[in-house]
Structure 1
Amino acid sequence: MDLNDADLAGVATAFPRRQSLWNWFWQFWLLVMGITVFGLGGGAVFSLVRLPQTRDCDRLIQPFASASLRLYCAQVAAGEQTRESLLKAIKLVDDLPKDHPLRATADRNIQHWAFDLIVLAEGQYNDGDLAAALATLADIPLDRLPCEEDDCPRDELLSWKKTWQDTWDQAEKIYKDTEKALIDQDWDLAAATATQLLSINNHYWQVTKYNELNAQIREVRDTNSYIARAKALAEKGGADNLVKAIALAQKVEPGSRLYTVAQAQVVKFSRQILDEAETVLERDRDLSGALAIVQKIPTVANLQEEVQDFTLLAKSQAKSWSGRIPDLEAAIAQAQTIESDRPLYTQSRRLIQTWQQEIQDVGHLDRGRSLAQNQSIPSLMTAIAEVSLIPQNHPRRNEANDLIAGWNRKIETLEDQPYLDRAIELARGGTVAAYQSAIAEINRIGRGRALYGEAQDQASQWDRDIQRIEDAPYLDEAQEYADVGRYPQAIAVAQRISPGRVLYGEAQDQIADWRLEIQGESNLEQARGLSSSSVNNPESLTAAIRTADRVPTQAPQRAEADEEIERWSTQLLQIALERSGYDLRGAIEVAEQVPPGSIAYEDAQAYIRTWRSQIDL
């Protein structure tokens, strides 16, 4: 582009102004740079000569801070002796280069702070803060701890986590077991279990928690006297005792450790009262008694709805007791008023179902009874078929079973009575053949039938009659022998009657009598023979007396034997008196043979005393 003269003149005029501005710009920046250099230099000198302040640590920017400042701030932080402050101190100086002049100082401090963390973790563990202790333990820089050949703390520290956790788990189990024993009211077990905490290697469990448990044991033991007495009363049974038991359980204060247990017992005892009322209602069918019992349940048991439902159902059950269909229908209608959200709704539905079934059963029972009135075998069988329609699980099935059993017995009686009548008629003949025919006829009545017992009694009687007819001739013949004194023959004939036969006992009694007579006669004859073998011989007389005394008391010869004993005793005394004239000692020996009980015994004893006194003189 071409410039004219005017344009050239304008450029020449503007250039000197631009040159002046450029010179001013450089002068300004040279001044700024000078101020900056002198400011930084002065600041550096100031920072070197002044001591760091704590507020500098709060504003510390680690990458730009000096090593000495970081070391100082780390020492300040570590002075707080908390897990966070010790970890902060380690972090501030841990990244110093290995060749830094302050590295050795930093390492010594880090080692010291690591030991501080160990002490802190142990303190937290013994103060009961396991989580904090484990967290502190995990943050300890194990690689900074000194480790010699025989002593390396890092190995032990690595085992502390498991040891502490296991110890804690063991202590917590002991504590829970003790609390369970307290709830179960086993004081001896609770005290023994709590004592195990004393062996736990931890101050928190050894002292704090152990003392806490001891205090609980003392408190619960005092409180439990109410619960124990309440249980003892409840075990006796009866609504009155249960009411008293509830009053005792309510004396446990809300702040007590056993308060929940006591409240549970209140509910339990109240439900037992409800059970008592139900028992009285169902067992005794006593509506007023059951309602009186249920009204004793206290409101604190919170069973008001159960009491209301029970009262309504009890009145419904009372209506059903008549067994009449209108009353059963009324009971159903009343029970149906219990809504589905009520506590005894399920029980009401069960009763309603039972009563509905009972209505059906009553129809079958009424029809069955009506059919059975004819008392004929066909009508009875039809009645049995009717009531058999009642299912086994229905409420009136037991009543149906009783009717069926009675009607079956009636049918069996109607069927078997002709056999019994014919047998009785046959037995009127009174002969062995007649009785045998009667037994054969009556045995047609099978075992388990209604008349079976009566039939067997009759058959047994007729069998005894047969035995009596068959065995009586033996007994008569034996008696004939006995009448003429032929006892051995009588015994032989009577022994033909076998054991178990109807006359066996009578025959044995006769045999025993005859044997007594044989024995008595034999003993008496032997005694008489001894007495006559040597006249006035004391030894023979004494032997005769002993033999005669063996005659059985029941034997007919006993009276005769006693007479002979008296006679021989008198003879002995007479011999003694004769000897006393020349031989007192011999007289005494003879007199001593006089048997006690004899008439001569007292005289003999008097003479013996006299003769002995004469010998002594």
Structure 2
Amino acid sequence: MTPKSSQSWSVPSWTFWASLGLLTATSVGTASLLLLLRLPPKPDCSTLGSLTATDSLRIYCARSLARQGDSANLMAALQLIEQLPPESPLHNEARQAVSDWSEQLLRLARQQVQKGDLQSALSLLNRIPNSAPNYARVSETRAFWQQEWRQGQQTETKVIKALRNRQWDEAQTEALSLSDFETGYWREGRLNRLLMRIAAERTAWGHLEDARRLAAKGKPAQLAEAIELAKTVGPERMIRATAQGEMNRWGRQMLAMARQRFQQKDLAGAVEIAQSVPGDLAVSAEAQDFAQLTQARALAQVDTLLGYLAASATARQIKPGRPLYAQANTQLMAWHDRMPDLARIDLGRALAGLDRVDALKAAIRSASGVEMGRPYRSLAQTLIASWRKDIEVLEDQPIIEGAQQLARNRTVADLQAAIETAGQIRQGRVLFPQAKRLIAGWRDDIEVLQDQPILDQARGLARRGALRDAIAVARRIRRGRALYPRAQASIGRWQADIREIADRNVLDRAYALADEDRLERAIATAEQIGSGSRLAGEAQAAIDRWYYQLYPPETPAEPEPEPAPEPESDGYPYYY
């Protein structure tokens, strides 16, 4: 070894030994202190069932349970501590614990009572031992709660009875009696709930009465509104069953109105009413089916194949199990039976729309396939008759137009040719009345052309004053001719002119006689003019004037003046 290595293994110095001693002393002191401060071992409550369990262990474990503060542990603690014998030195401590824990159970029971759980509260009281110092108070509390509960339930029964009889004030008076109860559950909780229920029941009844007044109007809209108002009566209300019965009755009434509209052929109105029946009613499903089926029937009313197909699709939406499924199925079968005939009719309608004779004849053949006794036989026959008339129009219209073209020249020969042409249309054809009217008009035109020169000649004679010659010429126009009424009117005027000339001569002679003061002869002459003459008014005025001159009225004598009345006497003499 080198000198250095031998020096490193030399004896430790005094510093080392001093440090070692100090460390040892510290360790010993610390260990001693830990031994002094260490707690005794924790008692084992699992050994309570053994015969070696001490009273102190029972009290310790009971206190541990009671410290949890809940009812279950408190009752377990009481049960555990009751096992201590009376001669135990810890009996007083146990008795105090029983008193404390019984009070805690009593407080917990009061909490249950305030929540309205009387049975739980009584169960807690029943677990308080008879030996508890407060047991007498517990018994009184139990009896008080039970009595108050009976009174509260009786009060609620009276309130419910008053509500059923709609005695709102009596119900409120009974409910307010709960305000005198000691228990907060009754004094506050149940009282408030009863008052709220009274108000709710009263409001619900008011809504039902309002709904009844609406429904009494008997209109579909008011009935639907009444049902919606009655729905506000909640399921928890006493009159809910009554309200539901009224709603069902009103719903049936609406459905009856819808059926009545259907019978009156007002399908749109029937659908509108049925669809307005609110849901959640006994007849709601039937009303929905009725609206669906009525819509389908409305589609089928157009009497076309497409209409029947749309109607069938609508009716198929009524599924098995629905109220009107059987009725819808019966209607579907009827529609399907009619569809082949409708197909023939629709084909005929399409062909007839081409407005050609050959197409119309094909349409008639198609519609003729609808056999006798089938539902659409009458419609097919009606269409066939109409199409036959259309064929006649198409065949005869060119004849009418040709005749009208001939008549436009307004000569006798052309008019006669037009008459012969229009005469080709036989009686019974559609255009025969039109042809007949045209022929009559053209015959009148021919007569006018033939007789107008005669009437013109007569008028010329009349203008020259040859009235009698004019009348003779005009009478050549025979009765029944077109200008006969005009000729007769002219003859009447000319005859009146002749009579007026004669009457004027008579009246002039009367005037001459009057000028000679031969008034009686003048009057007799003027009276020869008849009342129908144009000069009748003038003649009568002259007659009245001349008669007045012959027989003037007498002048009445003036009446003598009446004597003045004598003054009334007052009993005293008059002096003049």
The interval holding the TM-score normalised by the smaller chain is 0.3 to 0.5
Largest Rg, 1 or 2: 2
- What TM-score does the superposition give when structure 2 sets the normalisation length? 0.45
Structure number with the higher helix fraction is 1
- What TM-score does the superposition give when structure 1 sets the normalisation length? 0.42
